Amino acid sequence: MALRINSRSIAFGGEQFFCEHDSEVIGLPMKFGLYLPPQIRYHKVPLLMFLAGLTCTEETFAFKSGAQRLAAELGLAILTPDTSPRATAVPGADTSWELGHGASFYLDATQEPWSRHFRMESWLTEELLNLVREEFPSVAGRCGISGHSMGGHGALTLALRHPGKFASVSAISPVCAPFHCRWGKQAFAAYLGDDRAAWRDYDATELIQSGWTAPPLLVDVGTHDKFMQEQLNIDRLESICRGIGQALNLRRHEGYDHSYYFIATVIEDHLRHHTAQLEV
């Protein structure tokens, strides 16, 4: 599990790393980005894991969000994992942007041939977090999780499925109910098979409705998001959280879409949300 640093650059007094390691869980090399703020010279800092959306890589959020400036001010480390294993040799893994490479949905696949390498939940919640804390001991134990689109789905479900693992949660334009949308049905059928009970275990709205809870949620979405009705199911998340009593701060932003321009617009609020929760 030796760490290889592919690049490191100074940014706002801290350092942006891009790394890879040979994952025992995945069975292939896996890549991730890590921003360490300047405060690590003096004390440990909390960590935010940000999960990117379909077609993205470990570089996308680091390159496009502009998050390092505020992370340096707040003293927050940011971990950006790749969105799936790569070079898996799985037939069809490069056929569609909605399935396979770049489209893991952050779960542990149970169906062949995906189950050989697509074990993202285990990689993220165990192997990767442990590796980062071992190799970068200035990163403290308290960790938050956030994400965009498919990554927003990942942030919500991983926080719900692993109580106590993540002390803060947020999502930007998340796929809230993959059990009920085309993206989710396609991915779940391939990765999890025909047992729809297994699908519910990776649907945030189904988990909340079943009694699972998470730290207070911050969720942002643009009213001009072209995926709002067909794929995101924001209204379903709002209704179920209200009915169950799950704390949710849902904000709809007039005119904004699904792009990284929207992420860059709201990311400051998300970083401040996580910093406040992680410092408690």
Eight-class DSSP state of 39: G
CB-CB contact of 62 with 69 (8 Å): no
Catalytic annotation, pick one of 258, 270, 273, 274: 258
| Cα distance between residue 263 and residue 248, in whole Å | 19
Q: Residue 33 is encoded by which pair of tokens?
A: 């980005």
- The yes-or-no answer on residue 210 being catalytic is no
| Cα distance between residue 19 and residue 3, in whole Å | 7
| Cα distance between residue 113 and residue 110, in whole Å | 9
Q: Residue 62 is encoded by which pair of tokens?
A: 């680091």
Catalytic annotation, pick one of 149, 168, 170, 173: 149
Q: What ranges in the chain are assigned the alpha helix state H?
A: 60-64, 67-74, 120-122, 129-135, 150-161, 182-192, 196-200, 204-209, 234-244, 260-278
Q: For the range 180-185, what are the long-range contacts, defined as Cβ-Cβ under 8 Å and sequence gap of 24 or more?
A: 180/205, 180/233, 180/236, 181/230, 181/231, 181/232, 181/233, 182/230, 182/231, 183/54, 183/98, 183/150, 183/231, 184/105, 184/153
- The yes-or-no answer on residue 173 being catalytic is no
| Cα distance between residue 274 and residue 74, in whole Å | 10
* 3-state helix vs strand vs coil in the chain, percent to 5: 40, 25, 35
- The yes-or-no answer on residue 258 being catalytic is yes
Catalytic annotation, pick one of 108, 201, 203, 225: 225
Peptide bond just before 163 cis, omega within 30 deg: no
| Cα distance between residue 241 and residue 176, in whole Å | 11
Residues classed as catalytic: 149, 225, 258
